[in-house]
Chains A and B, each alone.
Chain A
Amino acid sequence: MPSPARSDAGGDGAGILIGEVHTGLLLNSASLRQDMLPAVLGLLPGERVRSFERPISHAVSPELLVGVDCDLSTASGTRVRGIGTLAVRAAITGGRVLQGSAWTRLMGGHAEHRLPWSHYLARPGVVETVGRRRNHPYHADLADGFLDRTNNRKAPGIDFGAICGQIMGEVQRSPYLDRRSPFKAARTTLRWVAEESPERRIGFILGDDGSRTTRITFDGQPISAVIELCEDLALHDWLLSTLLDVIDRGMPSDGPHETMMRRIRPAVDHLIHLWMPGARVVESLLPLWESLDTKPGFTRQWDTLVNRIRDQLALRTLTLLSASAEGVPGRNEQGIRS
């Protein structure tokens, strides 16, 4: 049974943070109104849904805890057992984009066997490793193992995908949604690892099949700020991927006007105004976003795509206008002849 979690609990700053953010389209015909958000995201009775109206509508469900006890994935293939809890929550941005976000802090435990469950419940959002490996430099091994999806390890590790999918599914099946979304969009998955280090850095890798990985080092910011950065990054990466897909599909240059409009319209109606990188990122982590904006250049690509859509629409409008301007006398002439 899930119980409330606190994201800033969890010890002495050691260990690494790992998590996953899944992003997809909310199954509703219209953008969800601000006043509906608490009902849709109220997944835990008695716990408040946090919502914000500015600079963009955004609401976050209460955090739930999920217990795990499994072998963690390692790059070396070494067997490491982890026991503890993950925190997971759902968020809706702009009344339109749904995210499932789960994370935990991996820490070296002091025990050589599983402790009573109360021990782990007292450390919400922490997974402790079990065994004698605590002096071993296992952080890098665990981080690499977690980020490498292609690695055919014996232990698939914690199934973040199932946990994020579960909470997103719960929101999508809400009785307050009509499940008639105006267009369809593939989900994307961002897997991330964050470690404390004197130097702040971020790396971002785009994989096939909607999977992305990112590695962050931060210095002293609260965990919640790191998680929000990852969620913001995942959100904008999804917006970009979805817009790219819409354009790929909707802009064969010689297609009929109606076909193009039908395919491009969802982007204009529902996506373009959602771009607001860094809107909810704390100031001290903003430089990380800015470095991604320099390379690979999220905003630059976004602006190019939006301009392309606007140019296409402008050109089509001009073509239609000139066609109708030529068409009117043409019809008259014919009318006179007949």
Chain B
Amino acid sequence: MLVIATSDKGGTGRSVTSCNVAYRRALQGSDVCYLDFDFGSPTSGAIFSIDPVSRGTEGGGLHSYLQGKIAEPQRIDVWRQTDRETLRSRPPGAGRLVLLPGDQGGGEFSMTKDILQRCTKLFVRLLEEFDLCVVDLSAGRSYAAELVLAATAQQELRGVPHRWLVFHRWTRQHVIAASGLVYGRRGLIEAGAERGHDSQVLADSIRFVRTAVVNPDSEELAGLRPTQVVWLLDCNKDLQELARQHQLGRTMVLATIPLDPVLQMREQLISDRDVWASQIANAATVAAFDQLARRIADDAAWDEL
């Protein structure tokens, strides 16, 4: 299955969440690969703590592959090559976790027929070996997004499930922007239909992920003054109404990721040890990643509309 992660605005935590979801899914026993399609700023290497490719690779990444400079893009086994010792061995029962990094100084490019063909070939190639391919796009409308929309509409990928995750923060501006990215002019659905997708099928394969969400009922906010809590609850209610009006209502939400200080300070994988041993991360965050990782592949979560 292909899962494509996108967002309208930057700073939504799209990359860090999708890396963590890839990691959780691998822990759950699936073979997972992560494709860094954020060609302008490939930073997934840093999130997986693979120092040599922290800002993209010099050894032939996805950018070079799509432009036809190399026959196959570089693959990095995360279990083996991560610098974080707590992640370095593949736990029993876990699947493969492989990163396909972008190129250092890659930059955007426009789509040609050859690039589209290479992209389709790559997806078919990876689907042979991996249960889940996470494609992380850059924020906003990009050529990479157009490319993936076009590739998934090709005959070779027709029978393969592909699902879109649209990340947004839980604020007015982000809700409106995320809605525009999906339903607006030149949005995902309109652009997808032009590329040969069935609008309804495509719409059914899109879900939203709310990130950095402050839960007004959580224990961490116990110190707030009652007036502040009331104000927060009101804001939350307004946002829910706004989201509903913009077709981002509860049934369209696949997961809600709580605000976590670790993710705010440093974008990284959160291991169980970060929660239980060093207690720097919140159990709720890991639970949210874990649930999202399960729901991605759970047909029931996508059928309920």
Contacts and interface: CB of A to CB of B under 8 A. Distances in A.
B128 A184 contact: yes
Interface of A: 24-25, 27, 159, 161-162, 165-166, 169, 172-173, 175, 178-181, 184-187, 209, 248-249, 252, 255, 259, 263
Contacts of A180: 159-160
Interface string B75-96: 0010000000000000011111
A186 B124 contact: no
A185 B127 CA distance: 10
Contacts of B96: 186
B71 A179 contact: no
Contact of A172 (B93, B128, B131): B128
A249 B92 CA distance: 7
Interface in B125-152: 125, 127-131
B155 interface: yes
Given A162-B71, A165-B72, A184 B125 contact: no
7 contacts: A24-B129, A162-B72, A165-B71, A173-B121, A175-B155, A184-B129, A249-B95
Contacts of B127: 27, 179, 181, 184
User: Which A-B residue pairs are the 6 nearest by beta carbons?
Assistant: A162-B71, A173-B156, A252-B93, A178-B159, A184-B31, A184-B131
Contacts, number: 62
A24 B71 contact: no
Interface residues on B, range: 20 to 34
B129 A179 contact: no
Of the candidates B128, B156, B157, the one having the most CB atoms from chain A within 10 angstroms of its own CB is: B128
Given A162-B72, A179-B124, A263-B29, A255 B93 contact: yes
A249 B94 CA distance: 7
B269 to A, nearest CB: 21
Nearest to A29: B159
Nearest to B90: A248
Given A161-B71, A165-B72, A181 B95 contact: no
B8 to A, nearest CB: 31
The secondary structure that dominates the A interface is: loop
Interface in B234-253: none
Given A249-B93, A263-B29, A27 B128 contact: yes
B259 to A, nearest CB: 33
A169 B129 contact: no
Interface in B151-165: 155-157, 159-160
Nearest to B72: A165
Nearest to A172: B124
A173 B124 contact: yes
Interface in B17-43: 29, 31
Interface string B37-74: 00000000000000000000000000000000001100
Contacts of B160: 179-180
Contacts of A24: 128-129
A166 B72 CA distance: 10
Contact of A165 (B29, B125, B130, B155): B125
Nearest to A166: B71
Contacts of B72: 161-162, 165
Contacts of B121: 169, 173
Nearest to A173: B156
Of the candidates B95, B120, B125, the one having the most CB atoms from chain A within 10 angstroms of its own CB is: B125
A169 B125 CA distance: 7
Contact of B128 (A25, A159, A259): A25
A249 B29 contact: yes
B69 to A, nearest CB: 12
Contacts of A252: 92-93
A173 B77 CA distance: 26
Interface string B100-131: 00000000000000000000110011011111
Contacts of B128: 24-25, 27, 172, 181, 184-185, 187
A93 to B, nearest CB: 16
A169 B120 CA distance: 10
Nearest to B91: A252
